[in-house]
């Protein structure tokens, strides 16, 4: 999968998604080559920078076991990927859109890439910078989900696509809150 294709996914339903659909990337190589390395970024960043970064705002941060938190975060990410793939398929079918299991899990795997990359913001110990970076990453992930639903389900009905996207993003927000709770608690 080319970086140019990945970078176009949040912004349009046709060019990038049609190329992905034509090449039909296999999930295992995609997982091993892109998803696993990128999904390891947040746990590794938590381990490396967690105490220093969160110590600025949370008094108990230095006392936390950041190895355990990173591992719990990673496991939660993996469970969330599985659940989100299933949820994307279910939400699409409820709105009478057709999406294969492969495409639903593909979308669930690609959508969090901006969020994973935003964890690199922990290198900058500035809360406002990281908040802005996280919001931007979330907006890009929402764009990936919206355009992915429109492109992979072949719908031009914006209201139907938006309905599915709202359900998926709501579930994604709940998952994101779970991940943040793993860190804070």
**pLDDT by position in tens, the chain (length 185):** 677 777 778 888 777 888 888 888 888 998 999 899 999 999 999 888 776 777 666 677 677 788 888 898 899 899 999 999 999 999 999 999 999 999 999 999 999 999 999 999 989 988 899 999 999 999 999 999 999 999 998 887 888 888 999 999 999 888 888 777 777 77
pTM (2 decimals)? 0.88
Q: Is the dihedral of CA 169, 160, 104, 25 positive or negative?
A: negative
pLDDT score, position 57? 66
Buried b (16+ CB within 10 A) or exposed e, 123-132: eeeeeeebee
pLDDT score, position 67? 87
């Amino acid at each position: 999968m080319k970086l140019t294709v990945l970078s176009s996914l949040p912004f349009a339903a046709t060019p990038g998604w049609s190329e992905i659909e034509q090449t039909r990337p296999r999930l295992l190589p995609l997982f091993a080559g892109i998803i696993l390395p990128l999904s390891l970024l947040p746990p590794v960043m938590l381990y490396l920078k967690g105490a220093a970064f969160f110590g600025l705002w949370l008094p108990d941060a230095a006392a936390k076991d950041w190895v355990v938190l990173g591992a719990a975060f990673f496991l939660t990410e993996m469970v969330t990927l599985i659940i989100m793939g299933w949820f994307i398929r279910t939400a699409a079918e409820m709105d009478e859109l057709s999406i294969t299991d492969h495409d639903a899990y593909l979308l669930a795997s690609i959508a969090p890439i901006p969020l994973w990359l935003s964890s690199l913001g922990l290198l900058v110990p500035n809360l406002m910078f990281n908040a802005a970076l996280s919001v931007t990453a979330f907006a890009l992930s929402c764009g990936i989900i919206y355009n992915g639903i429109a492109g992979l389900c072949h719908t031009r009905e914006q209201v139907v696509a938006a309905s599915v996207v709202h359900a998926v993003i709501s579930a994604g927000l709940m998952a994101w809150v779970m991940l943040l709770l793993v860190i804070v608690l």
